[in-house]
Chain A
């Protein structure tokens, strides 16, 4: 009996992909993240929302250490994040990230954007990297654009390329920072569709977004942040229909009112 418990605990441990414990961050004197505690299980889909400036971006950027945290612990794939550069690089290989402004490399073709990291980080032979890249480009329905440069693509296409670029590294977690908020309205759906497909394939995802439709249909858990703190977290139905905190109610009434 106790042996079984231990095995279960071990399994639990192993299935926690990300864990933030009492994490704090300051920009100079400005306390931007306050005592963040968050556990993400393998395969979990989490949507993070909250008003602008509440620290959403900063929090997910701490997870791959684009920003350093000053206290508390962050564990990603069983590796604690410290300022050990080698360990960090190892963690980053397994954590994909998509940005609001796509950040494709403008001086490289779409294909070159995709194969860069597999070749130079994963040390994959060029031919294999190209095959892999083409597979993912097909998956995001954009294979015919592989020889173009990012500047020649629409915003929606660029964001799909950015997603494919991350996927080429076979990440265990994907972070999205407002992936659709720089897009024209008619392009939002094509990106959300790709993300939803990714979620259905079992990818662990942390997604900062205000697309509440996406949150309702995809998320396992919605997190609401304000003033650098996690104010409330719940599964989507409860979160939207029965928010506990007044701050959450106010926020929801603001974004859902129109």
Chain B
């Protein structure tokens, strides 16, 4: 006679030890040495945090003039408040401020659309890749919009333009360099290796100087390219080389069987690359790509050395304003805070993209 198999009922897992006290004992006081370190750490924090909080918030002056600030003890956020337009837009004409703001809205909107996956992947890619055009058009004018000379661009806006356009334009170039580097053709391969290694072998400052000083030497004398465009070109070149290496890592990480399966189905090399290899490679490298975005966002502060007033540059300039002399600390703390907010958000954003990827969707 056959016996009927009865599955055993599921049991809950054993209760884990939880609670605050348990956590503190396990993580802070789990040995004598660790306990000592914890106490020393707490002592140091106790000495730093209260004065810091006092300066940053409690004694801080949020409204008033430079005079009110000088009489107070804390940070002078009134200064940042008074100069906020300068911080954000630099010398950009105030009455046209809606144009950079609208660009920012476009950028932010595209971030949300991407996170929510409201468009097909292919459309998203196109939207991101053409984003530099409306950004430059809105901020710089032309084609029916009043022209704003690039010498009037500055502040956080300039930082974001250089970084966002830098990353977006360098993505396709980096991908092409990476593909070229993994090709059989010796000439193309050699060329790509040269570009990548040359650019990665020099500091960004050098590239910026070369772009501003040497680029005009290669151009016909009657062609005049504004310094901002030259700097942007340098940043794109710099970023492309690094992105190429990141993408190459991704290309190598894609299982060889994927390409074989595609080829076996009759797809040619280009279609295999575009439909099968690249999407998987790019998905693998989302974390390092976000890392590159963050790095580039911060690296753009180097454009100060060629005379552009980006966010950091404008912060310095603002603190030398005759009326608000002596509030450098506030300017730089504000600057650091905004940089941190941007980079941290980018990092979180990248994490959320990764998580989505793991579910198995695009």
Give chain A residues whose Cβ lies under 8 Å from the Cβ of B173: none
Residue of B264, B275, B362 touching A92 (CB-CB under 8 A): B264
Does B360 sit at the interface, judged by CB under 8 A? yes
| B: number of interface residues (CB 8 Å) | 22
A178 → chain B, closest Cβ, in Å?
13
Contact (Cβ within 8 A) A66 B264: yes
Contact (Cβ within 8 A) A151 B360: yes
What string of 1s and 0s marks CB contacts (under 8 Å) between B256-279 and chain A? 011011111111110100011001
What string of 1s and 0s marks CB contacts (under 8 Å) between A74-89 and chain B? 0000000000010001
Contact (Cβ within 8 A) A106 B264: no
A18 → chain B, closest Cβ, in Å?
15
Complex Cα gap A165–B271 (Å): 17
Give chain A residues whose Cβ lies under 8 Å from the Cβ of B268: 85, 89
Give chain A residues whose Cβ lies under 8 Å from the Cβ of B267: 116-117, 120-121
Does B361 sit at the interface, judged by CB under 8 A? yes
Complex Cα gap A166–B262 (Å): 10
- Candidate in B255, B257, B266, B362 with the most chain A CB atoms within 10 angstroms: B266
Residue of A96, A99, A121 touching B260 (CB-CB under 8 A): A99
Complex Cα gap A64–B264 (Å): 7
Complex Cα gap A121–B283 (Å): 25
Contact (Cβ within 8 A) A165 B260: no
Contact (Cβ within 8 A) B360 A97: no
Does B280 sit at the interface, judged by CB under 8 A? yes
Give chain A residues whose Cβ lies under 8 Å from the Cβ of B266: 89, 92-93, 117, 121-122, 169
Does A26 sit at the interface, judged by CB under 8 A? no
Q: A117-B265, A117-B266, A151-B360 are in contact. Are A103 and B275 (CB under 8 A)?
A: no
Contact (Cβ within 8 A) A66 B265: no
Q: A89-B268, A152-B360 are in contact. Are A105 and B276 (CB under 8 A)?
A: yes
Contact (Cβ within 8 A) B264 A96: yes
Contact (Cβ within 8 A) B257 A99: yes
Give chain B residues whose Cβ lies under 8 Å from the Cβ of A165: 265
Does A222 sit at the interface, judged by CB under 8 A? no
What string of 1s and 0s marks CB contacts (under 8 Å) between A101-124 and chain B? 101111100000000110011100
Contact (Cβ within 8 A) B263 A92: yes
Does A149 sit at the interface, judged by CB under 8 A? yes
Complex Cα gap A97–B257 (Å): 12
Complex Cα gap A122–B265 (Å): 10
Complex Cα gap A130–B344 (Å): 43
Contact (Cβ within 8 A) B261 A103: yes
Contact (Cβ within 8 A) A103 B362: no
B283 → chain A, closest Cβ, in Å?
7
Contact (Cβ within 8 A) B265 A121: yes
CB closest chain-A residue, reference B279: A107
Give chain A residues whose Cβ lies under 8 Å from the Cβ of B275: 105, 116, 120
Does A95 sit at the interface, judged by CB under 8 A? yes
Residue of B264, B283, B362 touching A97 (CB-CB under 8 A): B264
Contact (Cβ within 8 A) A101 B265: no
Contact (Cβ within 8 A) B265 A106: no
Q: A117-B267, A120-B271, A121-B267 are in contact. Are A105 and B360 (CB under 8 A)?
A: no
Give chain A residues whose Cβ lies under 8 Å from the Cβ of B257: 99, 101, 103
Given A85-B268, A92-B264, A105-B276, 20 other A-B residues pairs in contact with their CB atoms under 8 A: A89-B268, A92-B266, A95-B264, A97-B261, A99-B261, A101-B257, A103-B255, A103-B257, A105-B258, A105-B262, A107-B362, A116-B262, A117-B265, A120-B267, A121-B265, A121-B271, A122-B266, A149-B360, A152-B360, A166-B265
Binding site for B on A (CB under 8 A): 64, 66, 85, 89, 92-93, 95-97, 99, 101, 103-107, 116-117, 120-122, 149-152, 162, 165-166, 169
Which 3 residue pairs are nearest across A and B when measured between Cβ atoms? A103-B261, A93-B266, A117-B265
Binding site for A on B (CB under 8 A): 255, 257-258, 260-269, 271, 275-276, 279-280, 283, 360-362
| Contacts A/B (CB < 8 Å), 17 sampled | A66-B264, A85-B268, A92-B263, A92-B264, A92-B266, A97-B261, A97-B264, A103-B260, A103-B261, A105-B280, A107-B279, A107-B283, A120-B275, A149-B361, A152-B360, A162-B261, A169-B266
